[in-house]
Structure 1
Amino acid sequence: MEIRRVKNRSLNEEVKEALYRYIKSMDIQKNNKLPREEALAEMLGVSRITIRRSLTELSHEGVIFRKHGIGTFVNADALQIKITFNPAQEFEKLIRNSGYKAEVELVNIEIKLAGYNGSNKLQIDPEDEVVIVEKVFYADGNPAIYCIDRFPRKLIEGDISPNDIKLSIFEFLKAKAGKIVTRDIVEISTAMVTEDDKLAAYMNSVKPKAFLVFESVNFDQDNNPVFYDTEYYDTDLIRFSSCRQKDIY
C-alpha cells in the first residue's frame, strides 16, 4: 500500500488515521512489526514527535504494543474490533463499521431555555436558549441509535435549516459556528424502555427493552463545552468492544 503524505502537519488525528490505514494494509500474519519512527515520519512527511504522539495514542487504544529495545508491533486481536469506545465515531460511520447500510432521520427540532441542567453542562446562563435536535439512525432500515443533541442557540447566527442540522452535529457546528469538537466526557448507563415511552415509538420497540445509554458533554478546540447529548443504542445491532491496557506493578 502507498502511504500518502499528510496535508496538514498540525493535525495529529490525520496522522493517526494515516498510520491506522497503513496498519490495516499490513499482512500481519507474516510480519506485525512497524517500521521505525524515523521511517514512518519520512513516509508521512511529519516530525518524529508527531509520529510518536500518534503511536502513543494507538498504543493506549491497544492497536499496537511496544517491546523495549525491539520495536513496535501491531496487535492483531485489536484489529478485529469493529467499534470501540475510544476514539468516538460519528454514528453513520459507526453503523457502517458494524456492517450495515446507514441512514438518518431528523425527528424533531425545538428551542427551550437551558435551565439548571443545561446551563451547568454548557456553562451558560439558565435563561439562555438551547437548540434541541432529535435524530434516529438506522442500520439496514432498522432503528439502531436515538440521539438528542443540545447546543446554545447563540452559537448560530440566523435561521437553522433542517437540511443543515440533519448533517453530523460535528460538521454542523464546524461549518456554522467554527467549533471543532476535540473530546468528550461520557457517562454510561442503561435504560429500560416500555411501549408507552416516546423512545419506544422511535425505536420500534413493542415490548420492554434495555438500551445502552451514553450521556456526554463535548468540548471544542478551546476546551469549552459546545454541546451535550444523550444517545440510546440498540445492542441487538450496535455493540462496542474495548482492548484495555493493564496497569503493571
Structure 2
Amino acid sequence: MVYEGRLLPGNRLPSEESLCEELGVSRVTVREALLYLEQEGFITRRQGLGTFVHPSAFRSKGRIETETCFNQLLRRIGYSRISVEGDIWEDKAVEPWAELLQVPVGEPVLMFTRLFLADGRPVIYCKNHIPMSFLKLPISDLDANYQGNLFRLLWIWCGQEITHRTAWFKARAVTEEISEKMGMPIGTPIFSWDEVQCNIEDKVVCLSENYFDTVAVPLCSMRRTWRWGDAEDQDAEENGR
C-alpha cells in the first residue's frame, strides 16, 4: 500500500476498520502492525487526525537501527551477491575490550571474525569477542563461515537469547589487520561501531568490533522527535537542550 502510493491525502493511512477489510485480517493484527511501524519511525499516529506515513523512512537505505544483521543491511542498500568469510580461535581478554565484556583481563574468550563481501568487494569487517564461559559447543564444532544472523549464532553456540544492545560509534585509524582484510591503506580513517549484546540478565554475551567502508556502505539513522508541548520537551527547551 505504501510502496504503491495508495494513501489518503497528506500521506495518511485508511482507518483501522478499512485496513482490516482490505487486508482480510483482524483488528488485533492491524494494531500490532501499526505499533511496529510506529516504533520503527515509519508512521506517526495522532488521535483525531489519523495515521501519517513517512515515505522517506521507507526510502532510506542503510538505517542502522532497523537492521538485525549485516546481510540484510547490504541487501537493502542494493547488493545482490553477499558472502561472508570467517575465522575462529581462542584468545585472552585484553583492555579496553575486557571492561566492555565485564570480564577480567586474561579471561578466555572466543574470537570470531567475519568479513562481509558485497559483489566481491570487502565492505564490513567484524571482530566478535565471546567469553568462553558462555560457549556450549567445542570449538571444533563451530562453523567459521556461518552466513546467518549473529543473534541466531549466539543462540546455537551459547544458548543465549540477546534482548538488547548498546553501541558506540567513532572514527579509528586502519590497522595492519584491518588493512589486510579490507584492502585499505594503514592509517586511513575508518568508521567503527563497537557493540555489546546482552541477555535478559543484562550479562554481556558478545562484544563486536565492526568496521565499515562507508563509501560502499553508506549508513544513516532516523531520529524521532517528541510531540511539541510534552512536559519533557518544554523542560528540555528551558534548559537549553
Structure-2-length-normalised TM-score: 0.78
Which residue of 2 is the match for residue 113 of structure 1?
Answer: 92
Look up the match of 2:75: 96
8 Å CA contact 1:112–1:132 kept in 2: the answer is: yes
Confirm or deny that 1:176 pairs with 2:157. Answer: yes
State the alpha-carbon separation in 2 of the partners of residues 69 and 163 from structure 1: 54
Q: Deviations over 1:30-71 (max 9, x none)?
A: 66433445656982674687456424413xx3x112333121
Contact 1:216 1:230 in 2 (8 A): yes
Q: How does 1:129-208 map to 2 (within 5 A)?
A: 129-160=108-139, 161-163=141-143, 166-167=146-147, 168-193=149-174, 197-206=176-185, 208=187
Contact 2:166–2:197 (Cα < 8 Å) also in 1: yes
Range that drifts further, 174-183 or 78-87: 174-183
Shift of 1:178: 2.4
1:86 to 31, 40, 65: 65
**Within 2, Cα distance between the matches of 1:89 and 1:97?**
12
Q: Which amino acid aligns with 2:5?
A: D
In the aligned structure 2, how far is the partner of 1:71 from the partner of 1:96? 32
Q: Where does 1:1-249 land on structure 2 (aligned, <5 Å)?
A: 23-24=2-3, 26-28=4-6, 32-37=11-16, 43=25, 46=28, 50-51=32-33, 53-58=35-40, 61=41, 63-100=42-79, 101-106=81-86, 108-115=87-94, 117-160=96-139, 161-163=141-143, 166-167=146-147, 168-193=149-174, 197-206=176-185, 208-247=187-226, 248=228, 249=234
Are the aligned partners of 1:149 and 1:227 in contact in 2 as well (CA < 8 Å)? Answer: yes
Where structure 2 has 5 or more consecutive residues not aligned to the other structure, the ranges are: 229-233, 235-241
Distance 1:221 1:35, change over 3 A: farther
Among all aligned residue pairs of Structure 1 and Structure 2, give the percentage whose two residues are the same amino acid: 24
Preserved CA contact (<8 Å) 2:197 2:207: yes
Kept after mapping to 2: 8 A contact 1:193/1:208: yes
Stretch moving more, 219-228 or 119-128: 119-128
Q: 1:204 to 1:162 in 2, by over 3 A?
A: farther
Residues in 2 aligned to 1:166 and 1:178: alpha-carbon distance in whole angstroms? 16
Alpha-carbon deviations, 1:7-36, whole Å to 9, x = none? xxxxxxxxxxxxxxx654x42466643344
Distance in 1 (CA, whole Å) between partners of 2:131 and 2:110 is: 6
Measured after TM superposition, the shift of residue 245 of structure 1 is 2.4
2:75 partner SS:
helix
Which sits farther off after the overlay, 47-56 or 235-244? 47-56
The one-letter code sitting in structure 1 at the alignment partner of 2:129 is R
Q: Which runs of 5+ in 1 are unaligned?
A: 1-21
Instruction: Provide Cα deviations, 1:114-171, integer angstroms capped at 9, x if missing partner.
Output: 3454443233344531101112101110000011001111212231234266243222
What number of residue pairs does the alignment pair up? 221
**RMSD of aligned alpha carbons:** 2.9
Q: 2:37, 2:15 → 1: CA distance?
A: 11
Contact kept? 1:28, 1:76, Cα under 8 Å: no
